[in-house]
Amino acid sequence: MSEARMLGVLGGMGPLAGATFMQRLTLLTPATRDQDHIPAILWSDPRVPDRTAARLSGGEDPLPWLLRGLRGLEAAGCGAVAIPCNTAHGWFAAMQDATRLPILHIVEAAADELRRLGAHDGRIGLLATKGTLAMRLYQERLEGRGYEVLVPETEEMDRVVMPAIDEVKANRVAEAYAPLAEAATRLVARGARAVVLGCTEIPLGISAGPALPFPVADTIDALARAAIGWAKPAG
């Protein structure tokens, strides 16, 4: 049997984002038949405790669940791991310490996507969970590259962004479009030249309506491109 490199996907956070990651991984891969596609295992465990609640309000620690999934992906023979959940990257160092498999970092992938969109520096907007904002997962990495990161006001996070993310997790994807489009548009009005959809539920909501009239960095697609780059290195 051919020993092509198999990708591990630690998903389920949420499950629709993980499934859509697999779909985009497939659709973005140059292929003319099944056998050209990338072998992958999706470990979709939606029981992982809520990442934002763990960081901000003393909720159950997700790390044991994340490590359980990593061990499963190792045992299955995977050669690297992609995690289509931005907030889970708050536990990146602990996860990377616990596995010999390289973990592709979703914020690095998002930074590559911003460059692909032509946004090489300056103001960019960030829509993400309160957990991701509080942990400064994007700010730390993007400010070092010359970006200024704008985020919604706290009031707007509570009233608009977090409820829209919950709509997607509850399968009400279409209902999430208007509030997310509103929040992204407000960041552009404040001077952002592009908006990072820095929670994997957000591109699902944004894809449910008309395209926005400014560049958005979809972190599901960004991570899928990083995974394809790992599985099929150019040259």
CA angle 99, 202, 133 (to 5 degrees): 65
Nearer to its own copies, 76 or 94 (CB): 76
Interface map 22-61 toward its own copies (x if CB under 8 A)? xx-xxx-x-xxxxxxxxxxxxxxxxxxxx-----------
* Least spacing, CB of residue 69 vs its own copies, in Å: 9
Q: Does 83 bind its own copies (CB under 8 A)?
A: no
For residue 190, how many other CB atoms are within 10 A of its CB?
12
List, in sequence order, every beta strand (DSSP E) within 54-116.
80-82, 103-104
Nearer to its own copies, 12 or 203 (CB): 12
Q: Which two tokens stand for residue 44?
A: 């979709």
CA nearest 142: which of 172, 109, 166?
Answer: 109
Does 199 participate in catalysis according to the annotation? Answer: yes
Q: Does 68 bind its own copies (CB under 8 A)?
A: yes
Does 78 participate in catalysis according to the annotation? Answer: no
Is residue 209 within 8 A of residue 175, CB to CB? The reply is no
Active-site choice (7, 80, 85, 142): 85
> What sign results for the dihedral spanned by CA atoms 49, 53, 59, 61?
positive
User: Which residues of the shown chain bind its own copies in the complex (CB under 8 A)?
Assistant: 1-2, 4, 6, 12-16, 18-20, 22-23, 25-27, 29, 31-50, 64-65, 68, 72, 75-77, 166, 169-171
